[in-house]
Amino acid sequence: MQWVKVLGGVVGAAALLGLGIIVGHFAIPKGADSPAPSASASQDLDLEILKTVIEQLDADRIRENLRELSKEPHLATSPRDEALVQLLLQRWQDPESGLDSARTAEYEVLLSFPSEEQPNRVDVVNSTGAILFSCRHSEENLTGEQGGPNVVPPYAAYAPPGTPQGPLVYANQGSEEDFKELQNKGVKLQDSIVLTRYGGVGRGAKAVNAAKYGVIGVLVYTDPKDINDGKSLPNETFPHSWCLPPSGVERGSYFEYFGDPLTPYLPATPSSFRLNSDNASGFPPIPIQPIGFEDAQVLLCNLGGNLAPADWQGGLGCDYNLGPGFRSNGTFPEDSQVNVSVHNRLELRNSSNVLGIIRGAVEPDRYVLYGNHRDSWVHGAVDPSTGTAVLLELSRVLGTLLKKGTWRPRRSIVFASWGAEEFGLIGSTEFTEISAPGSSGLSIYDNWIRYYNRSSSVYGLVPSVGTLGAGSDYAPFIHFLGISSMDIAYTYDRSKTSARIYPTYHTAFDTFDYVNKFLDPGFTSHQAVARTAGSVLLRLSDSLFLPLNVSDYSETLRSFLQAAENLRVPLEQHNISLGPLVTAVEKFEGAATSLNQRIATLQKGTSDPLQVRMINDQLMLLERTFLNSQAFPEERYYSHVLWAPRTGSVATFPGLSNAYSQAENTGHEPAAWAEVQRQLSIVVAALEGAAATLRPVADL
């Protein structure tokens, strides 16, 4: 299945790029050298250097990086994770190909692990308590890599310990709607165990939703329909294909927020104030445990009760019933129940970030950060090691040029390997025209526009750039600090598979051979990402004018405004006018256009370094003007009025969309409509501020 290309994923494994001042997080250590004597205030991107970098990025070296990085399981804070910290330091301190400096920053964070002494269990028991069936405690050792003490057994991180037992109910994806539907159908949920499949809502949300209906325990599995295009037999799954084997189990964090749970809004230094873990919020309220579809089949295909709705059916080769309890003519006595035993425990552990730095020649106080996380659930070949393998190759090529004295970027570059502590960068757009892998002759740009595009009112058909959610390390950068970020991934052809994500995601089957055999045998996709990322990185760090097009934001604002226009009638019924929003969007559009013209004019003339820096400051600070710490008081860290989580159905500004849905759903209470007006005012104030930020101060 060579056509399937996975490199990184939108979730977790991707190379991350961002730009901004990270005030207070770290400072570049003082080096021995002054800026290179040749540094000029007008230093700009050198296309020859860019070409050299792109040519030197080596697919075989990326493969060897990946082999080394994914050789052993490297769960956060494990000995192998610590060994990789040393590997990164060694690479970045290499005299021939290292950076100016490298260092670690250690944090003390609350992690969650299963008990070694008491494995988590899922059993079917009869009315006398005898065990009739037990789910596997670990995945099948298919390649010799799924055994051994370093493979953490499947578990739901941060799920509380407990041993609930009750009749089984099938609850689809465990969304609020799913539970509502079960209730409407009269299925008794109180004191039940529910079986859910991955997808639809976040992991932790399944337990949160279930607990509201009196459910006492939750199981989660990956349905072959969602991940394997229906394939479920051993001989059609890994190691025979890229598909998930029947025993594969997706691990993951079930914590509702991001960052260390005990130190919200504070750095998790050893001396920092910590919540008592009993007072910390965001943990699942009831025990939850993931299982493989091999085991899920035994449970689900024996369920009694009514047939589940058509869109709740999956790929396990039987009719999915709702329960509660097992059917009369199945494997288990009707009154058998499911017992879930979870023995996870919380532990404070030391986790390191590794930072490698290239000092800027002209503007060392402006940083481009390029990072991805290091820790994996098991071997983590795809997630996250593809990202690190590419990052290391890029830092090697740039480091070599640096050590030779050939090149030093205009701005500082920081390479980062994030530990278990979640970090990240904030999104903006960029694209490139480097040759794509394979023999199609298509450029990356052509490939991109063919497989993942959208229609732009300004440019016509363009490559599409997704929206950054909170899936990976960029989340706190974009949502809390307002720093422009992007997440780069080369992914599979979604027209040929409906897989929710690459099939071995967060399982013990995400190994080097999996990548090497099925995903990218020639590592040409890795090389393409390295070239793309390298090009973006150099353009951001070396261009005299920052390559950020603020008019792209105009398109987003216009689409949000158009969606809001659909609400005009109901809003006016509650005396809420869209007029100020229309005006604010128009102001932003005008200011963005005018700034672009100003940049074009400046680029033609001589470049006064202070004038250029003023423009770049405007471009850089634009993202910051969208922050409002009062906008979403219930949402930890979220403060970006464009990209906060949207739960409302209208594809407009998230605060407005959510408040509108709330007002519709709560019987039109005045307080709910007041919140709609408040959210609208917050957006208007942010857009007015953004427009003011873009106005041509340097043109006075």
Of residues 121, 450, 558, 678, which one binds its own copies by CB under 8 A? 678
Q: Which stretch binds its own copies (CB under 8 A): 27-35, 134-142, 163-171, 449-457?
A: 27-35
Bridge partners of 463, per DSSP, are: 453
Of residues 3, 329, 629, 667, which one binds its own copies by CB under 8 A? 629
The tokens for 32 are 């021995």
Q: Based on CB atoms, which residue is closest to its own copies, 146 or 412?
A: 412
Distances (CA, A) of 226 to 116, 261, 672: 31, 31, 37
Phi-psi region at 230: left, alpha or beta (left = phi > 0; alpha = psi -120 to 50): left
By CB under 8 A, tell whether 684 contacts its own copies. Answer: yes
SS3 string of 652-673?
A: CCHHHHHHHHHHHHCCCCHHHH
Closest of 73, 78, 74 to residue 146, by C-alpha: 73
Site track for its own copies across 407-436, x = CB under 8 A: -----x------------------------
CB of 417 to its own copies, least distance (A): 20
By CB under 8 A, tell whether 126 contacts its own copies. Answer: no
Q: Based on CB atoms, which residue is closest to its own copies, 386 or 618?
A: 618
* Catalytic residue ranges: 421
By CB under 8 A, tell whether 621 contacts its own copies. Answer: yes
CB of 679 to its own copies, least distance (A): 8
By CB under 8 A, tell whether 1 contacts its own copies. Answer: no
Q: From the DSSP assignment, how many helices (H) and strands (E) are in the chain?
A: 18, 18
By CB under 8 A, tell whether 572 contacts its own copies. Answer: no
Contacts with 19 (C-beta within 8 Å, 6 or more apart), sequence order: 366, 367, 368, 369, 425, 428, 483, 484, 485, 540, 546, 548, 620
Give the separation between CA 124 and CA 135, rounded to whole angstroms: 9
The vertex-593 CA angle with 591 and 597, nearest 5°, equals 115
By CB under 8 A, tell whether 658 contacts its own copies. Answer: no
By CB under 8 A, tell whether 230 contacts its own copies. Answer: no
Distances (CA, A) of 589 to 404, 582, 626, 664: 45, 11, 15, 31
By CB under 8 A, tell whether 446 contacts its own copies. Answer: no
The tokens for 102 are 């490298």
Give the separation between CA 162 and CA 131, rounded to whole angstroms: 18
Q: Based on CB atoms, which residue is closest to its own copies, 26 or 445?
A: 26
How many other CB atoms are found less than 10 A from the CB of residue 453? 13
CB of 676 to its own copies, least distance (A): 9
What is the residue-wise DSSP string for 576-612?
Answer: --SHHHHHHHHHHHHHHHHHHHHHHHHHHS---HHHH
- Tell me the residue ranges of DSSP E strands in 430-502: 453-456, 460-463, 485-488
The tokens for 613 are 């820096």
By CB under 8 A, tell whether 688 contacts its own copies. Answer: yes
The residue with tokens 């425990």 is: 345
Of residues 610, 645, 647, 649, which one binds its own copies by CB under 8 A? 610
Q: Based on CB atoms, which residue is closest to its own copies, 24 or 149?
A: 24
The residue with tokens 């298509």 is: 442
By CB under 8 A, tell whether 327 contacts its own copies. Answer: no
Of residues 329, 630, 634, 667, which one binds its own copies by CB under 8 A? 630
Q: Which stretch binds its own copies (CB under 8 A): 24-32, 157-165, 281-289, 564-572?
A: 24-32
- Pairing, β 411-418 against β 156-157: unpaired
Q: Based on CB atoms, which residue is closest to its own copies, 154 or 482?
A: 482
By CB under 8 A, tell whether 105 contacts its own copies. Answer: no
Of residues 64, 236, 617, 664, which one binds its own copies by CB under 8 A? 617
Q: Which of residues 276-305 bind its own copies (CB under 8 A)?
A: 276
Closest of 314, 273, 228, 169 to residue 507, by C-alpha: 228
Q: Which stretch binds its own copies (CB under 8 A): 1-9, 154-162, 357-365, 441-449?
A: 357-365
Of residues 554, 625, 652, 662, which one binds its own copies by CB under 8 A? 625
Q: Based on CB atoms, which residue is closest to its own copies, 282 or 438?
A: 282
Q: Which secondary-structure segment (H or E) carries 372?
A: strand 363-373
- Cis ω on the peptide bond leading into residue 239 (within 30° of 0)? yes
Give the separation between CA 692 and CA 598, rounded to whole angstroms: 15
Q: Based on CB atoms, which residue is closest to its own copies, 131 or 266?
A: 266
As a whole number of Å, the CA-based R_g of the chain is 26
The tokens for 360 are 């800027």
Q: Which secondary-structure segment (H or E) carries 132?
A: strand 131-134
By CB under 8 A, tell whether 690 contacts its own copies. Answer: yes
Q: Based on CB atoms, which residue is closest to its own copies, 49 or 614?
A: 614
CB of 315 to its own copies, least distance (A): 46
Of residues 386, 628, 652, 662, which one binds its own copies by CB under 8 A? 628
The answer to whether 416 and 369 have CB atoms below 8 angstroms apart is yes
Of residues 55, 177, 335, 365, which one binds its own copies by CB under 8 A? 365
CB of 320 to its own copies, least distance (A): 46
What is the residue-wise DSSP string for 543-578?
Answer: -SS----THHHHHHHHHHHHHHHTTHHHHHHTT--S
Q: Based on CB atoms, which residue is closest to its own copies, 515 or 578?
A: 578
Say how many residues touch its own copies, by CB under 8 A.
66
Q: Which of residues 245-264 bind its own copies (CB under 8 A)?
A: 263-264
Of residues 1, 10, 41, 298, which one binds its own copies by CB under 8 A? 41
CB of 102 to its own copies, least distance (A): 15
CB of 494 to its own copies, least distance (A): 39
3-state secondary structure of 650: coil
CB of 112 to its own copies, least distance (A): 22
By CB under 8 A, tell whether 613 contacts its own copies. Answer: yes
Of residues 161, 230, 570, 580, which one binds its own copies by CB under 8 A? 580
By CB under 8 A, tell whether 603 contacts its own copies. Answer: no
The answer to whether 695 and 594 have CB atoms below 8 angstroms apart is yes
Q: Which stretch binds its own copies (CB under 8 A): 51-59, 146-154, 266-274, 518-526?
A: 266-274
By CB under 8 A, tell whether 119 contacts its own copies. Answer: no
3-state secondary structure of 149: coil
Q: Which of residues 464-523 bind its own copies (CB under 8 A)?
A: none
By CB under 8 A, tell whether 697 contacts its own copies. Answer: yes
By CB under 8 A, tell whether 607 contacts its own copies. Answer: no
The answer to whether 522 and 53 have CB atoms below 8 angstroms apart is no
By CB under 8 A, tell whether 362 contacts its own copies. Answer: yes
Q: Looking at this protein, which amino acid is placed at residue 434?
A: I
Residue ranges that bind its own copies, judged by CB under 8 A: 23-28, 30-31, 33-35, 41, 100, 263-267, 269, 271-273, 275-276, 359-360, 362-365, 412, 577, 579-580, 608-610, 613-614, 617-618, 621, 624-625, 628-630, 674, 677-678, 680-682, 684-685, 688-690, 692-693, 695-700
